[in-house]
């Protein structure tokens, strides 16, 4: 019976992870699309345009970190899903774990155990891809910025 329960628990983690990744990718796409339109409006204000773009990207990454952090916090309510050891049971600690995972920095003071490891591993890959996407976006915007007279 425990084997059947673990399939159910793992399935919930996989579905929650997939849904979170989809939300983050959609959020990222929509924010980059919106940022691109806004940056075109700031053609005459070159410095503002760069700052607006960078702060916009930082905000979208923070929102994505919070999305993953809220999933950690929600799933960690039930011990069967695993735990984040080395952190207290607070939302900001889950956000911290998410930020360390999303940015692939890692943290020696906390570790994820149990089925939540799937969420952590997938978040690291997603964070790497989304950060690279933002870097490409920034490069293209800066290339336009430097080309303009």
What are the structure tokens assigned to 142, written together? 């800066």
What are the structure tokens assigned to 37, written together? 């339109």
Domains in the chain (CATH in brackets) are 2-147 (1.10.287.70)
Residue 17: closest CA among 125, 122, 126: 122
pLDDT digits (tens, 9 = 90+) for 76-130: 999 999 888 776 678 898 999 999 999 988 777 888 899 999 999 999 999 999 9
* DSSP 8-state symbol, 94: H
pTM beyond cutoff 0.75:
yes
What are the structure tokens assigned to 112, written together? 């994820």
User: Could you tell me which residue, 134 or 50, shows the higher pLDDT?
Assistant: 134
């Amino acid at each position: 019976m425990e084997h059947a329960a673990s399939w159910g628990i793992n399935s919930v983690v996989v579905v929650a992870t997939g849904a979170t990744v989809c939300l983050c990718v959609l959020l990222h796409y929509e924010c980059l699309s919106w940022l691109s339109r806004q940056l075109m409006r700031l053609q005459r204000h070159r410095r503002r345009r760069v700052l607006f773009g960078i702060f916009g990207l930082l905000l979208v990454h923070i929102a994505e970190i919070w999305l993953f952090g809220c999933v950690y916090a929600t799933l960690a309510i039930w011990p069967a899903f695993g735990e984040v050891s080395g952190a207290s049971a607070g939302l900001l600690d889950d956000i911290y774990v998410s930020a360390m995972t999303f940015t692939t920095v890692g943290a020696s003071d906390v570790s994820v155990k149990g089925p939540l490891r799937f969420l952590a591993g997938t978040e690291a890959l997603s964070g790497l891809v989304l950060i690279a996407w933002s870097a490409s976006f920034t490069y293209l915007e800066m290339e336009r910025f430097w080309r303009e007279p």
